[in-house]
């Protein structure tokens, strides 16, 4: 099931109740939308606070425009179009931060790398967290058009027709962007990342001390959980059995779904008009 399929929980009846001011209907819509929208925002923007702000603003726009939804397109397409447009606008507002390049990122990975380090079992969760941080940072080396195409098509599994409709471009143009993004990431991962290709020089245990020093990994702020996914040696072994493009998909989908610490329902209650209590 793709992320867009989860929006099937939002029925026309639920939308009508929300438009009429039913607070519980509004909250159900927000709770359904907040996780997938935040997942796109944090991959597009990297900074978690920026991602939460962009998600919040996207949710407000969707909720306050529900009465404008006429059913000409699927609700998921309509909602994603609003959310993606706000996230892209938010990114443009943050352009003071220069876009990374793959070469600059490769240099950053090489700095402070300890080639004598050995993996310690007690650091397994830290290694997995560093892989998550690194894979998201790598996306910042793509420009915005190619980044959102990769996130929608490769990570979230949208079809080219669905993604093109959300982005309001031709399906052929979307496929071209997605192909270019895949090619760039595969090339970079193949020459740098030891998880993706065992022959590459960078490994999470060789970068961990540097990442902790720079504050990129914090022991008390981990998104990964012991029960979620494979450890890195297991993931590396699995990836080695796949073709390059399937390996890229598995590499990114092995990360846990991004989770925000912000409760958007609580926040939105104070920012949009109060909804009527539903009849008991």
Tell me the pLDDT band of 275, cut-offs 50, 70 and 90: very low
Rounded Cα gap, residues 112 and 108, in angstroms: 8
Which distant-in-sequence residues (6+ apart) come within 8 Å of 63 by Cβ? 18, 26, 29, 30, 268, 272
Rounded Cα gap, residues 187 and 233, in angstroms: 21
SS3 254: coil
- Closest to 115 measured CA to CA, from 196, 185, 200: 200
Domain ranges within the chain, ordered by starting residue:
3-269
Give 22's strand partners. 276
pTM: 0.88
Statement: residue 187 has pLDDT above 60: yes
For residue range 6-58, what is the model confidence (pLDDT) as tens digits? 677 889 999 999 999 888 999 999 999 999 999 999 999 988 999 999 999 99
For residue range 114-129, what is the model confidence (pLDDT) as tens digits? 999 999 999 999 999 9
How does the average pLDDT of the chain come out, rounded?
A: 89
CB-based contact 17:65 (threshold 8 Å)? no
pLDDT of residue 90: 87
Computed on alpha carbons and rounded to an integer, the radius of gyration of the chain in Å comes to 20
Rounded Cα gap, residues 52 and 34, in angstroms: 10
Statement: residue 96 has pLDDT above 80: no
Tell me the pLDDT band of 270, cut-offs 50, 70 and 90: low
pLDDT of residue 277: 45
Which distant-in-sequence residues (6+ apart) come within 8 Å of 262 by Cβ? 52, 55, 56
């Amino acid at each position: 099931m793709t992320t867009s399929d989860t929006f099937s929980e939002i029925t026309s009846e639920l939308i009508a109740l929300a438009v009429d001011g039913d607070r519980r209907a509004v909250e159900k819509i927000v709770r359904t939308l907040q996780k997938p929208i935040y997942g796109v925002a944090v991959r597009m923007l990297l900074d978690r606070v920026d991602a939460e702000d962009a998600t919040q603003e996207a949710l407000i726009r969707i909720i306050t425009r529900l009465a404008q939804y006429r059913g000409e397109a699927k609700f998921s397409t309509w909602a994603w179009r609003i959310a993606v447009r706000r996230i892209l606008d938010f990114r443009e507002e943050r352009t003071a931060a220069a876009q990374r390049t793959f070469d600059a990122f490769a240099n950053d990975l090489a700095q402070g790398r300890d080639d004598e380090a050995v993996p310690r079992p007690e650091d397994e969760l830290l290694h997995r967290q560093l892989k998550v941080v690194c894979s998201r940072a790598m996306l910042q080396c793509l420009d915005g058009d190619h980044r959102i195409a990769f996130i929608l098509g490769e990570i979230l599994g949208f079809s080219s027709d669905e993604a093109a409709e959300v982005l309001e471009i031709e399906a052929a143009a979307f496929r071209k962007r997605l192909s270019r993004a895949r090619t760039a990431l595969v090339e970079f991962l193949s020459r740098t990342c030891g998880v993706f290709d065992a022959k590459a020089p960078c490994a999470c245990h060789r970068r961990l001390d540097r990442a902790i020093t720079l504050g990129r990994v914090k022991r008390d702020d981990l998104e990964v959980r012991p029960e979620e996914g494979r450890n890195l040696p297991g993931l590396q072994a699995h990836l080695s059995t796949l073709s390059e493009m399937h390996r890229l998909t598995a590499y990114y989908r092995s990360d846990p779904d991004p989770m925000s610490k912000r409760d958007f329902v609580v926040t939105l209650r104070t920012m949009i008009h109060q909804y009527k209590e539903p009849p008991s």
